[in-house]
Amino acid sequence: MPRWSLTLMAILASLVISITAVVALAAAMIYPRLPSLEALKDYRPKQPLRILTEDGALIGEFGEERRAVVKINEAPVFLRQAILAAEDERFYQHGGVDTLGILRAAMANVVSGRVKEGASTITMQVARNFYLSAEKTATRKLNEALLAIKIEHTLSKDEIFELYLNHIYLGQRAYGFAAAAQIYFGKPLAKINLAEAAMLAGLPKAPSAYNPVVNPSRAKTRQLYVLGRMRSLGHIGEAEYRQASEQRLPLKYSPLSYEVQAPHLAELVRQRMFEKYGESIYSSGMKVYTTLRRVDQQAAVSGARLGILEFHRRRGYVGPEGQIKLPDDADLADKAIENALLEREEVNGLLPGVVLSLDKQRMRVRLRSGEDIDLGASELKFAERFISPKLARDKRLGRGSIVRVARAEPDAPWQLSYVPQVEVALIALDPANGAIRAMVGGFDFKRSQFNHVTQAWRQAGSSFKPFIYSAALERGITPATVFDDAPIAVDPAETGGVQWEPKNYDGTMEGPMTLRAALAKSKNLVSIRVLQAAGVQHAHEHVAKFGFDMPRIPPYMTMALGAGEVTPLTLAAAYAVFANGGQRVTPWHLLKVTDKDGRVLESFTPPPASPAIDPRNAYLTASLMQDVIRRGTATGALKLGRGDLAGKTGTSNEHRDAWFAGIQATRVAVAWMGYDQPRSLGSGETGGGTALPIWVRYMGEVLKDTPEMPQAMPAGLVQHNVDAQSGASTSGQGGVPELFFEEYAPGARPPANPLDALH
């Protein structure tokens, strides 16, 4: 061997020995001064306040860091495989520093001429995230490697991996994979699929660059890389790779996206917790369980959303919400679309999109996910007013228009829609104890935090009539009592100052009819006569028994048509009295508060109920409201095929509010729609057509596995046959059966007409 070769080898050997000695000396000096690992052995991360349904579904989190701590065996196997494939395939073989990985990365960097790969192991990432800065210096890297070795000597591999699963930052304020699954896909970690797991596993390398919300195309590229690595390592086969690669992942990301959407109730809970515990709630990991139930809340949210979509279809399209110029170059056009859509968030299932093309057969729209969808002839007809070439370019639908699309159901065709101005609310209670089972306080919490269930004081319209009829029953008026559906003029002294000549909703009059028929048909003129007969003062005092805020319900004749103000919550609590046999219940929503380890800090029981009205009155009024569904203004509820439902429609003056309040033995629910600044919903928008469908969807889902539960008739009621038109007793010969308080039954005592007793 030539002398120069031997010299070179000696120099290199000396250099290696010197470097090794320096590193060894540095390690010997640094290792004893490495930080204690107590923080790892007793891992106590900041955890947000978490709010859940009665059956454990997450509805809210509040804290600087969104984090949910899970055990390693709670993470799907394919997620763990995806993380190892993306970050550290030899994790279970090396001792904290992967020598082979370092050599492989060094070779790749030499070949490429730049720093293309790193060799940071999962253990080194844990060391860096817990103890070190992100600076890229030789000293920091040495500290990181030594600390990784120390960690490996202290903790098991699974313990290290569990720390990584829970502590790594993954963008959008998400720390750990459980929080990221909830934020990006709106589901618990245990329910993600392979495609979603690969997307999440790609995030640690660069959470900003591969964020699927901000950079969907880069995120997709990174996901495909992770899936390819999993295939190469034998974790998945070719079929699984193809299926996951081709699967579209419609992101459910929102700062308020959870397994179950109930932001208005979650905010009520947060306010209460802050008042009691202060700032500590945002980092202590406390949990609050509420009375909401998963199925109820999901049904309520779906019903309210569909109610808005159907309202839009009836009222017509309002035009695109913006325009962008799309270059002819495809790449530049894609970038322009991506930038435009990043500025617009999903609004309760209404997805932003950009029109790519439009002709006589279809409209093609690009969504933020990168998916292209086609809207057919029905949507072109829906929007035909905005396709006219006579319109100004910024008003006209065409290439570059920014639109909203939605699906009524997961597999339904796409529809053209728009962000609504109208608002919606739904509240459901258990009438037995007042537990709130569902609350939708508005269409979109991000847009408006105003809780329409608890804060919106609106005129109840005809949904208030059952309370007037209930007052009348107390005064001896019966379901068979006949009133005249005829013109009436009310003195100013009885209305609060103005002459009043009310009319029926449809402008028609049918002459004499029974109380039962009048409520079923929601006859305004009869309701006024019923209030006159019962007495305004008596009725006002009777209404107070249901828990209303009485200063908002002035004791005038206008009370007969629901001119007083109620909230959906107070109306629901009042209707519960008819469902539970006359007991007044107080709505409540807290079950228990626990610390992060599950120890109960507070527990709650239902507020005690109190007698409100005669059980016979509750039963009889509910019976009258059953006819509203069977043959009156709420026949739309007949599609549920149940005989144990009762309720009342309501439409306030000039169609400003649409209501439906209904009961069943296990649920009382109230649906409402209107504008924040009261104005007409539009001609033809009524409680029966606008609010009732929301209620029907909710009840249909909640009661689908519940058998019919007719109320038990209390003692003191008797049945007699009467003529359906005149209300007169038929002495058992023909007619229809009717119920009476036994003291007011036909022939029970004179006078036969109970109205005579009121004079």
Which residues are identified as catalytic? 87, 462
Taking the C-alpha atoms of residue 466 and residue 604, their distance in angstroms, rounded to an integer, is 32
CA distances from 127 to 86, 345, 543 (A): 18, 36, 67
Q: Can you tell me the distance from the alpha carbon of 692 to that of 304, in angstroms, rounded to the nearest whole number?
A: 11
Q: Which residues of 581-613 are buried (b: 16+ CB within 10 A; e: fewer)?
A: bbbbbebbbbbebbeeeeeeeeeeeeeebeebb
Closest C-alpha to 649, from 612, 701, 693: 693
* Spatial contact of 418 and 351, defined as CB atoms under 8 Å apart: no
Rounded distance between C-alpha atoms, residue 323 and residue 394, angstroms:
6
CA distance 579 to 662: 9
**Residue type at 633?**
T
Radius of gyration in angstroms for the set of CA atoms belonging to the chain, rounded to a whole number? 34
Per the CB < 8 A criterion, the answer to whether 563 and 459 are in contact is yes
Angstrom distance (rounded) from CA 145 to CA 674: 63
- Note whether 270 and 262 are within 8 A (CB): no
Cβ contacts of 235-242, under 8 Å, gap ≥ 24: 235/78, 235/81, 235/82, 235/85, 236/78, 236/81, 236/194, 240/194
- Whether 47 contacts 67, CB under 8 Å: yes
Dihedral of alpha carbons 339, 344, 348, 352, sign: negative
Strand, coil or helix: 532: helix
3-state secondary structure at position 344: coil
- Nearest-CA neighbor of 572 among 752, 421, 695? 695
The residue among 261, 291, 264, 295 whose CA lies nearest residue 697 is: 295
Cα 286 from chain centroid (whole Å) = 22
Planar angle of CA 170, 174, 175, nearest 5 degrees:
80
State both tokens at 666: 């296990």
Query: Backbone dihedral region of 607: left (phi > 0), alpha (psi from -120 to 50 degrees) or beta?
Result: beta
Residue 377's H or E segment, with its range, is: helix 377-382
Query: What separation in angstroms does the CA of 410 have from each of 415, 526, 652?
Result: 12, 45, 34
Q: Is the dihedral of CA 741, 742, 747, 750 positive or negative?
A: negative
- 478 within 8 A of 756, measured Cβ to Cβ: no
Q: Tell me which residue of 329, 317, 405 sits closest to 369, measured CA to CA.
A: 405
Q: How far apart are CA 169 and CA 156, in angstroms?
A: 22
First to last CA, the chain: 132
Cβ atoms of 523 and 628 within 8 Å: the answer is no
Rounded Cα distance between 195 and 367, Å, is 19
Q: Cis link prior to 751 (omega < 30° from 0)?
A: yes
Residue type, 79: L
H/E stretch holding 541 reads: helix 536-544
